[in-house]
Homo-oligomer: A and B are copies of this chain.
Amino acid sequence: MGISERKEREKEQKKALILQSAEALIIEKGLDNLNMDEVAERAEVSKGSLYLYFKNKTDVVLGICNKATGMLSKEISEVLTRDISGIEMVYSIGATFLNFVRAHPEFFRSMRFFDNLKDTDQLSESDYIEMCQSNMNTSFTSMVRAIQVGMQDGSIQSSYDPKELAVLLWSTSHGLVNMAYLHQNTPHFQLLEKNKIEMNSLFEAYMKLIGCGIATDDDVVNNDLKSIFETEKK
């Protein structure tokens, strides 16, 4: 009985098609202006069908977030395959994150949408929640691995707890990257302009700052950061 399998496959295809439409609309008009009517129209299904494939609008957005977190975690994992020291991996992961947000601001917005879900959004019993969590966890684990590599190869101090350090770098780089997002996408955020600060030099200062804190004495990298930046840009 191969029919149910075929139907399952077709269902997944249609879900993917709908998500593609939603993604296109989000990139065109921004996540805030996503409209279920338009998604249905663009995907060439009726509004009723939309709700056959997705529980609600949140479910659709989380579908996008799943793609976003998947892309990011893949890019981050890739850093671990390079033939570089642990601390360079840490820098590169940060740069990857920053470049991702610059290149895909609306994907980043969908990630923040996910972050902001409260239990009050009871409806959001979306299957994507688990998948997004898993993707984010993969990224986080990559950070932990990079730190472990660094401790092993002697480029990062062993005095920290790797996981705690990873959370710390994770959250602080999140703060920095979020600022880059605001700088680029919200007109009334003018902290950088007002103080005549370039995002890139800020990122370098960040690297330098954490470099001082975590690198071993013979591995304080405060030059060569630009080369890392270049590496990230495809």
Contacts and interface: CB of A to CB of B under 8 A. Distances in A.
A211 B175 CA distance: 18
A149 to B, nearest CB: 18
Nearest to A130: B188
A209 interface: yes
A212 B210 CA distance: 8
Interface in A147-162: 160
A118 B213 contact: no
A167 interface: yes
Contacts of A116: 112, 186
Contacts of A208: 213
A202 interface: yes
Interface stretch (A2-10, A47-55, A80-88, A189-197): A189-197
B210 A209 contact: yes
Nearest to A163: B195
Contact of A115 (B170, B182, B211): B182
A173 B209 CA distance: 13
A214 interface: yes
A175 B115 CA distance: 13
Contacts of A115: 182, 186, 189
B206 A164 contact: no
Given A30-B118, A174-B178, 15 more contacts: A30-B120, A136-B191, A163-B197, A164-B197, A164-B201, A167-B195, A168-B202, A170-B179, A171-B202, A172-B175, A172-B206, A173-B175, A175-B175, A208-B213, A209-B209
30 contacts: A30-B120, A32-B121, A112-B116, A115-B186, A115-B189, A117-B186, A117-B188, A118-B185, A118-B186, A133-B188, A133-B190, A163-B195, A164-B195, A164-B197, A167-B179, A167-B191, A167-B195, A167-B202, A168-B205, A170-B191, A171-B176, A171-B178, A171-B179, A171-B202, A172-B172, A172-B175, A172-B176, A175-B176, A209-B214, A211-B213
Central interface residue in A175, A194, A212, A214, by most chain B CB within 10 Å: A175
A221 to B, nearest CB: 13
Return the 8 tightest CB-CB contacts between A and B, nearest first: A175-B175, A172-B172, A209-B213, A212-B213, A171-B179, A174-B175, A163-B195, A171-B175
